Every structure is written in structure tokens, then in C-alpha cells.
Amino acid sequence: MDKVRFSDQLQQGCLTLGVSVAEDVPPRLHQLMNELLKWNAKVNLTAITAPEEVLEKHFLDSLAVLPEVEGAASLLDLGAGAGFPGLPLKLARPSLAITLVDAVSKKVGFIKAAVAALGLKESRGLHARAEGQPEVEGIPRAELLIARAFMDLPDWLDLAPAYVLPGGRVVAMLGKAQPDSELHARAAERNLRLVSARQYRLPFSGAERQVAVFTKV
């Protein structure tokens, strides 16, 4: 997919999702896609390899949660895989300091290479396994903690609070939507509070998504 078509598709998708990015973001995401596909040909990073699917299911899916990320100075992406949603969010909001953590070394290797290739400041990949002890694991706490399909929601809400700075937020990117009543109940069991829950669909495939935000009580 050439840069022009990629940019048109990305901007169309952002418009449908109700988010906006600066003019320099589409070409940089195009570069990230090329890096991802080049690495993926040698090292299995993602099962999604068609450029159109990378654009929607990795990039637009990541950018869809920009409303939930606004206002945070630091972001921790646990179980980042090949860097999603952290890398697209960083490109869209350059002032955000990000740490992307994954337990698979080859994925962290790609994240580090992408950060270097794109010249991203205040960004780092970290090879670690998050088990609820950030100091021992060397994982920094952040104002905003995010994960995309990292683990089942109850397990995520058990783990997440340890990695959030006081007053920070926990963001869960989910597939099929869960009722607000269930989200409230899951949060209350763990001394958390549901701040917001929003359903949306990816712009081209129509795949269902939900993003839920929690804080400590």
C-alpha cells in the first residue's frame, strides 16, 4: 500500500472513529507498518500481515482510544506485543512518555528497533513479565496503564492497580462489549471504580470493540 492510499484510509478511519491526528502522523505510521512487515517476514510478530488489516486492526484500533488517553503524561502498555496500542498512541501524541512491556524478547526487540527508526523520544521497550511487583520487575508505574486483549478482564483488574501512579487510570481495551453492571461489579470487587465505558466499531470491518476506564477508589 503506497503512502497516499495509506494516508487516505487512515484519515477516513480516524474520521469515522471521531479522533484526529496531525498531518505528519500517517507517513510515520506508514513507516512503522513497513518496519513491522519487514521484521515479520523473518520473525513472527503478528498474524496480521495484510497492509489493510495492519492499518485497521493495529493502527486504527490503537488510535480509537485517544479520547481515553488524553491528559496523561505517561503511559505504560503491558503485554504490548509488537507495540500496540503504545506506538501509534505515541506517534499521535508525541508528548506522551511511554514504556512498552512484553515477556517475549523478539517483540521487545522489534519495539526497540521501531523506536530507534522513528526517532521516538521518551519511549522504551522493556523485556519483563508483569506479575504484580513492579519494583522487582523493573517496570515503572505510569499515570495511565493500558492493555489490549492482554488477559481476561478479571485477571487484568487484579494485576493492574500495582502499576498505576496515585490518581492514575487503568484502561482495558476489550473485544465484545460487557454490560456496565458487570464492569461496575468487577471493579467494586477489587476496590476500583468504573469511570467510563464506551463501545465502538472498527471503521472498515465493523468489528466490535469496547474501552473501559477504571481508577482506584
Please state the residue numbers annotated as binding site for S-adenosyl-L-methionine. 79, 84, 130-131, 148
| Amino acid at the residue 197 | A
Closest of 129, 164, 171 to residue 148, by C-alpha: 171
Does 51 sit behind a cis peptide bond, omega within 30 degrees of 0 on the bond before it? Answer: no
| Residue with grid cell 495484510, as numbered in its chain | 50
List the Cα angle 198/162/58 in 5-degree steps.
45
Output the known binding site.
Answer: 79, 84, 130-131, 148
Gap between the terminal Cα atoms of the chain: 47
Query: Which residues lie across from 196 on neighbouring strands?
Result: 213
